[in-house]
Amino acid sequence: MTARETILEAVRRAQPEAMPLPALEGDWIRYDDPVAQFCAVLEAIGSRAVVVGSIEAAQATLEALPEYEAAQRVFSAVEGIGRTTLDANAVATPHELASLEVAILPGELAVAENGAVWVTDLGLRHRVTPFICELLVLVVPKHAMVHTMHEAYQRISAPRRPDGSPAFGVFIAGPSKTADIEQSLVIGAHGPKESLVLLTE
């Protein structure tokens, strides 16, 4: 027996006894105010959410952000909210988005328990758009708030393009964060340094 086979055999002998999977049906968490819970979680993870009553209020909230007002390269995929000075769908390669400062994108639903927003690349030419910008603004209808990830997965489906080909979808919660080196928290190492969720009425 080779050293490799010896090691693999030792690993096989050390496997724990298989356990049955937990049942997926149950009394999941229900929040009295899921929107307040969502906002509190986002605040705790370095982001924030603002409930806006109208498109005009959303625009005013954006314009009150110094980062947005100072930005020279902005892309908005949400009609009526934000401006576009760098059309992310018009550039040929994702590398041309390296200088994108602000991206304003729609979110399909939001999750109260962990502050996540379901985002797809439908309508985006480059799926890197939500990850390469400095400030990510997600616009989500307030009525699309769910309590838990369990509930979220019941509502979403694998996104498809009009031609039937698979699209890309991801849950995004807050700005990019990592602490894999000496547990030192770094914001924006792999994605946006800041994020904001606008919950529209």
Average pLDDT by stretches of 10, the chain with 201 residues: 93 91 84 97 94 91 94 95 95 96 96 97 94 96 95 91 90 90 84 95 87
CA distances, 162 to each of 59, 92, 105, 166 (Å)? 30, 21, 19, 9
CA distances, 16 to each of 5, 12, 19 (Å)? 19, 9, 9
Task: Please tell me the predicted confidence (pLDDT) of residue 8.
Answer: 94
Task: Please tell me the predicted confidence (pLDDT) of residue 181.
Answer: 83
Task: Please tell me the predicted confidence (pLDDT) of residue 37.
Answer: 97
d(CA 9, CA 15): 10
Task: Please tell me the predicted confidence (pLDDT) of residue 141.
Answer: 94
The pTM assigned to this predicted structure is 0.86
Torsion of CA 143, 145, 44, 187, to 10 degrees: -100
Task: Please tell me the predicted confidence (pLDDT) of residue 185.
Answer: 82
